[in-house]
Amino acid sequence: MDVTRIDQIGIAVEDLDASLALYASALGLTAGSRERIDEDGVEEAMLTVDGVHLQLVQPTREDSPIARFLARRGPGLHHLGLAVRSLDEALAHLRAQGVELIDEEPRVGGGGHRIAFVHPRSTGGILLELIEDPDADAAAPAH
């Protein structure tokens, strides 16, 4: 499995506009992109710090995974996103290792990238998002 870098740190928020205003005023960070992903029931904004994205994610419907996360845990750190050169190879490797996958097959996520999530039961409590970036290098985030 070829993990090339940390691509993103996912942060669940209740109010994306308020969170963006806070990050702008307190930290001087502004969104490089903002996108609604209807399949996942979320709206996300990407703020970049030294090549790593802070992905602020707000639910757009009550049955989305982010809405369930917020109801159980409140706002905060949601997942860690890792860039991989080949998502198919990464998933095959993880299956061979007996790692529990949320997404057995790749799907399309933000920015049109192929993604898959790894269950936190298999990773010491951390939800991992794998983001395919076949042209990955250390300087360029996938999103």
Reported as a single tens digit per residue, the pLDDT across 102-136 is: 999 999 998 899 999 999 999 999 999 999 997 76
Dist CA 129 CA 132 (whole Å) = 10
Reported as a single tens digit per residue, the pLDDT across 47-75 is: 999 999 999 999 999 999 999 999 999 99
Whether 35 and 53 have beta carbons less than 8 Å apart is answered as: no
Whether 109 and 42 have beta carbons less than 8 Å apart is answered as: no
Instruction: Tell which CATH classification among 3.10.180.10, 3.40.50.920, 3.90.1150.10, 3.20.20.70 matches the domain 3-132.
Output: 3.10.180.10
